Amino acid sequence: MTFERYTGMVDAQGGCCAVCGEPTEKLTIDHDHSCCPGGVKRCGECNRDLLCKNCNTGLGHFMDDPGRLSAAIEYLRKWGK
């Protein structure tokens, strides 16, 4: 990703994480891990939005699985969160 494309994305997102909406000085390029063939870290075609470190790490730990994320939400609601 070029610097110009990255800064354009930062501007388009208002400097905020695409998940939590919090402003942050350092945004990470989120990408679809299932896209990249042959163990390549990033092919360039799988870039999504920019995320803060916590949201990007969280999605990674949940393996981009909406079912796991939904289950985690229900778990937190069970405990009044």
pLDDT in tens, 7-16: 999 999 999 9
pLDDT of residue 54: 97
Nearest to 29 by CA among 60, 62, 63, 75: 60
pLDDT of residue 31: 85
- Pair 55, 24: CB distance under 8 Å: no
Structure tokens at 40: 């390549």
pLDDT in tens, 15-72: 999 999 999 999 999 988 777 666 666 666 788 999 999 999 999 999 999 999 999 9
